[in-house]
A and B are shown apart, each in its own frame.
Chain A
């Protein structure tokens, strides 16, 4: 069942390429490149085209994607990726466009970017948008650099701290550190929301900003968000919204109206661009007018009826990407928004929240759900009861593979023990949700009666080739083997 490494298939002289003969007069390479700079051996594999095709086709079959089944990976919004998005990104004018061809010859691409900026500004309730960041974490970095520039320009140089709730994504404190800030974690209250008293206590003239995910990583709407943003603003800080969970409130609530100053969207979550096995993603950062001057350059603007790339923004934080971000994914997100329209967009949020609440209702008999009976687009269950019998969240996750489902996010957020974070998304049918709940109930029963079955998971499944049993991740970190070498 396992597949050899491509290097093990290599045999001298085999080729998979087809290249033309040189049709210009050839000069000796030694005349063109100094002797010390010419490469000797190039140790790449030598394989045939059928070998390449079989190798990667076999590898693909050892992999589970949204197109194969339910993928309730909390916080990741693994919704269906419409195929029309792929058709749009593959249009030759887009796929072969050179980013330096000149504005006058890139009007179609620039119009698309400009219109996407406008649509996202409306959805965010903000004034300006950049599409340059290529991932959520880079969106965070963009937003924090803008916040930093804002404070510095006002002479407010003492603001050296960023507040993050204890339920925040790891990227939030990591990004704040990248901006030179120190981090203060704000504890959540027993309702799973930001504790206002703790926030007031942490807020002072050294705080540059609060980074808040809303709905938060417990799948709960921060119902006191207006007070939260007021407290930070009164202390002279700004409020950044991590938009990872924007799927829950599309067309329902706008971050700008809730008091946020700047936010990012994950276009690869909320706006259906495929995850590609870990990327490429795409992010957009939306900002209120007081932060607009700091947006990265170049900016896509409209001047006298034509679209242009504008570099003349002296207060800008600079440049975040070689060119204009992950354009092909921006085409996909644009296509998605134009497919939905305003009614469709609101239905996304409504169905995402309906599906999550339905699944929560089906599971709460068998699993602890520490933060109440209602949720937004996702909820966090705990396998604490099962863990007391020796079956941990990890075991339950692996056992779900036997049932043909991708496991939920495990052990996050950190404030819930044995966390299983479940996000069904709006694109799943009631039949799928029922089948998943049935599998979860079955596993809960096994945990009580036959825990060894759960411990032994995963087993081979018909959906995807599982060529291995439980993988030893501890050994992998203890003795890193990060590349193949010929002498092994």
Chain B
């Protein structure tokens, strides 16, 4: 090879790297391991990490322990999907392109919106991108951000908006666990680009979604809803209650928890906002012989064409996670997703009642909820969770660690995977019944 190149050594190929910038000797990195040694080491690290394979999970707060049908990993793991790049060459990527077109359709069906992109990084960055999109579409600069949105979502939105000429206005939460509507009304004016809200919100409570959208529209602002896609098996779709842009964390749709990543950002909007939509889009077209085919389209919004005038800087997205969501939604289908949502609803309400009746928990919010709820525990949440863990149970999120006024409250989540026996055991351990633990 060197002879063909006309070089005397590999070293010569690096001649343009200035000597002052060259690494002398080897980097200080751990030595190479063989495959069995490495897997043994990784197995040890994995064993020192709490997984829901081992623990019965009542923790949610952004990512959820929903059942992943066996067909999902079997299909998503196919090497033709796994080891492909972005489908820029349409003719040898028809499979991926068609699956993305199906994903876009499924997201529209689920949310009741007109158009969806091929995915964003996660729910939080999708919400931030939606705000920036609304700023561009309305040419206004104020955003109303209720405190009932997931605090990490709020933090990401604040980080993304900080360098831009936008103002974020925090809207407090009302005592019932929803957006403080009076405070919201006070801030609404002609400068507001969008009202953001989460429904169900961070505390699991259902917001008055339609009223929030109407309030935004009264001043000509857009309404941006962050939703739980599983809840849409049962709840009115955002397209019906008036949302202009919808985002969601899509991990629940067939993706593993994986310590919080990779996640999946769903994003959908009304047709009139399409040109402001960030990210990739797949469209149907025809080939030279008139056959239906698919390709990436409307790329004039994107960074590789528009550079600094692009609607976003996003390039790589979460394609494989979107594929998992596609297979999941096809597998669950019309009846299955509704069933999952109903099971979550029923089991969460059963646990909610039992914890109050048998373990001395008290409600802190009065709003209806879906699969998550906040309750005040009769003991410090840290010690409660410690006891639950000893019984093989991953307890709820200690809300006092996020905001002092919620000291003593725990945010619990009950998915379709939890059985009555597991819920009863959790309640018994929480009640101090040592027999059950």
Contact = CB atoms under 8 A, between A and B. Distances in A.
**A-B pairs, 7 with minimum CB distance:** A323-B260, A341-B32, A93-B46, A99-B260, A318-B159, A276-B320, A108-B48
Interface stretch (A55-63, A199-207, A445-453): A55-63
B186 interface: no
Nearest to A180: B163
A477 B300 contact: yes
B33 to A, nearest CB: 5
Contact of B313 (A20, A137, A361): A137
B260 A484 contact: no
Contacts, number: 660
Nearest to B258: A328
Contacts of A141: 313
Interface residues of B, number: 195
A64 B313 contact: no
A341 B313 contact: no
A100 B59 contact: yes
Given A17-B336, A280-B320, A326-B262, A484 B21 contact: no
B330 to A, nearest CB: 5
A6 B32 contact: no
B286 A475 contact: yes
B104 A91 contact: no
A19 B49 contact: no
B426 interface: no
A123 B23 CA distance: 10
Contact of B91 (A33, A66, A278, A471): A471
Interface stretch (A170-178, A232-240, A285-293, A384-392): A170-178
Contacts of B435: none
26 contacts: A14-B333, A24-B346, A44-B329, A47-B330, A49-B331, A53-B74, A56-B75, A63-B92, A73-B85, A91-B42, A137-B314, A174-B308, A179-B163, A275-B83, A277-B319, A278-B280, A280-B318, A322-B63, A338-B38, A341-B31, A362-B4, A458-B92, A471-B287, A472-B285, A480-B281, A484-B102
Contacts of A188: none
B50 A170 contact: no
Contact of A482 (B124, B281, B335): B281
B29 A482 contact: no
Contacts of A317: 159, 162
B156 A477 contact: no
A467 B78 CA distance: 19
B134 interface: no
Contacts of B285: 471-473, 475-476, 481
A401 B423 CA distance: 56
A249 B17 contact: yes
A361 B99 contact: no
A76 interface: yes
Which among B162, B297, B309 has the highest number of chain A CB atoms within 10 Å?
B297
Interface stretch (B108-116, B173-181, B216-224): B108-116
